[in-house]
Structure 1
């Protein structure tokens, strides 16, 4: 269990057993942004996503004593947001697409200054390609790469099998590899790995 998971578990017990409002506020601050990003993938509207995520938290507080029966609150909240998002989509049609930051620019790299332009161009291309991934493929990629969930957690959130998660994940990797194929010159003259190849190495630990 990660430190974040342990912290969520402690907050969960404080909320369920002692109706601790400060613990609830801490839980809200800890997970709100992540849940909001996830929700936007469904409803494509920041305003609607804010309303949905807030509503989920309200319901969690109103049913706080039932949290003692929840094994993994983090996954439970993502599932709740997904279900609320699907209910929203049954009533409203998305009118616009809101670009979502994939966080790829935050990946570390031993970038050579002379490669900066190539690096920025590749990141823009990757960001575009992530947004172009098929719906389920994109959700799987973001839940694992951005949110740090394991296969079984993503399977529970999206209500698919771990095998499907694996298939969708590597489909995403293949698409992204193809998208930046012409950016990958291999090794530089000094023998050091060039930025695009380092990007792939940086991405993979989040995925496997």
Structure 2
């Protein structure tokens, strides 16, 4: 899970770019490129397009640097800009829509926190990653912004242009969907092994697995 960037660092770079400091702009670019690229990929699914969108936004930041003093939260601003650019692209070149899936039941999993069960951990991670990739678009985006990027509900709502209540609902749906994945895994595993402690999927989702 990426480390949350200190707001003071962002603010300092923002002020330096406002003054025309090219080194500060390069630092900002390096600081945010991977995160913005990954976020764009949630929408466009093509590396070349995602990279182009990020570069377009960053170039606009530099070209309109005199307006940076009007931006209160540059991090949120960048994610909103990427989202809007992606949606504009999709509106022009594809049929973009969001579908919701029905909620599923709560689950628990076998505690695999020991060396002998390393392969089982890997299987769980693989299943979770696959399930996350298969979440409905908005649901997956909300989950990743909160669990991977560390944004708060209010920030995610601003980035995606939805209400905090919708953010909460979408995150709940994502976790319930992943609960079902683990529930199915446990059902299969219990046919082979009837012992072991249980671990809530809510706890598992807090672990630093790759998404």
Higher relative contact order structure (alpha carbons within 8 Å, sequence separation ≥ 6): 2
Structure 2 counterparts to residues 98-113 of structure 1, below 5 A: 111-113=113-115
- TM-fit CA distance, 1:91: 2.4
- TM-fit CA distance, 1:198: 6.8
Structure 2 counterparts to residues 1-208 of structure 1, below 5 A: 4-16=6-18, 18-93=19-94, 111-184=113-186, 193=197, 197=199, 200-204=202-206
Q: By percentage of residues, which structure has more helix?
A: 1
**Greater shift in the superposed pair: 173-182 or 66-75:** 173-182
- TM-fit CA distance, 1:139: 0.5
> SS of the counterpart of 2:162?
coil
Equivalent-residue separation in structure 2 for 1:150 and 1:110 (angstroms) = 30
- TM-fit CA distance, 1:179: 0.7
Runs ≥4 residues deviating over 4 A: none
Tell me the TM-score normalised to structure 2 length. 0.80
- TM-fit CA distance, 1:89: 1.2
Segments of structure 1 that go 5 or more residues without pairing to the other structure are 95-108
CA 1:137–1:3: 2 relative to 1, 3 Å: closer
- Count matched residues: 185
Equivalent-residue separation in structure 1 for 2:27 and 2:150 (angstroms) = 20
Is 1:39–1:53's contact at 8 Å kept on the other side of the alignment?
yes
Is 1:118–1:183's contact at 8 Å kept on the other side of the alignment?
no
> SS of the counterpart of 2:205?
helix
Tell me the TM-score normalised to structure 1 length. 0.81
Equivalent-residue separation in structure 1 for 2:69 and 2:175 (angstroms) = 38
